[in-house]
Amino acid sequence: MIQLPNSVKAYFNASNNEQLDSFLEAFKEDALVIDFNREFNGLETIRNWCKSDILGVHVRFDITDAWEQDGAYAVIASLDGEFDKTNLPDPLLLIHTFKLADGKIQELHVSLP
């Protein structure tokens, strides 16, 4: 597995430790998150997404694989938390694809691998 950039590591560490401010510091001011078909533009909407979809249900990520391709970083992580797991695979794996600018997350796409 490759060495991940600090902002990508901060995204997962802050999520796992429920640290909203540290989570937001990993992103650029005008960042874009695409979580499946939902888009979150800018830090304020990303803050709300994090509070409801990550911290609000105590999501915990466990990175299982990571690689760099064409300047983007892809991370496969299993996740658990206090959310409805009905009809979800076990383990639940998601791929997070990060595009960075100036060392911070400019774009994040979350999808199934």
Instruction: Indicate if the pLDDT at residue 1 is higher than 90.
Output: no
pLDDT, one tens digit per residue, over 61-109 is: 999 999 999 999 999 999 999 999 999 999 999 999 999 999 999 999 9
Q: How confident is the model over 27-45, as a mean pLDDT?
A: 97
Closest Cα partner for 13 from 83, 62, 72? 62
Domains of the chain: 6-111 (3.10.450.50)
Q: Where are any strands of DSSP class E within the chain?
A: 27-35, 38-41, 60-69, 72-80, 92-101, 104-111
Q: How confident is the model over 10-32, as a mean pLDDT?
A: 98
pLDDT of residue 36: 94
